[in-house]
Amino acid sequence: MVGDRERILASGFNGYIAKPIEAEMFLSQVDGFLSIPLKRTAGAPIHAVQKQTFAEVPAKKHALVLFVDNTQTNIDLVRSILEPSGYEVTAALSAHEGLDLARRLKPDLILSDVHMPHNDGYSFMRMVQNDAALRRIPFVFLTASVWSAREKVQALEQGATKFLSRPIEPQALLDEIEGCLRKAKGT
Q: Helix (H, G, I), strand (E, B), or coil: what is residue 66?
A: strand
Q: Where are the beta strands (DSSP E) in the chain?
A: 63-68, 87-92, 109-112, 139-143, 162-165
Query: What pLDDT is attached to residue 108?
Result: 98
Helix, coil or strand: residue 84: helix
Q: Where are the domains of the chain?
A: 4-36, 53-185
pLDDT < 50 positions in the chain:
38-60
Q: How far is CA 10 from CA 6, 46, 83, 120, in A?
A: 6, 16, 31, 41
pLDDT of residue 122: 92
Per-residue pLDDT, 183: 94
Residue 28, pLDDT score: 66
Residue 87, beta-bridge partner list = 63
The reported pLDDT for the residue numbered 49 is 38
- CATH code of 53-185, in short, is 3.40.50.2300
How many CB atoms lie under 10 A from the CB of residue 9? 12
pLDDT score for 60:
46
Per-residue model confidence (pLDDT) at position 3: 75
Of 77, 74, 34, 82, nearest to 57 (Cα)? 82
b/e string for 113-122 if b means 16 or more Cβ within 10 A? Answer: bbebeebebb
Concatenate the DSSP letters of all residues of 114-157 into one string: S--SSS-HHHHHHHHHTSTTTTTS-EEEEE-S---HHHHHHHHH
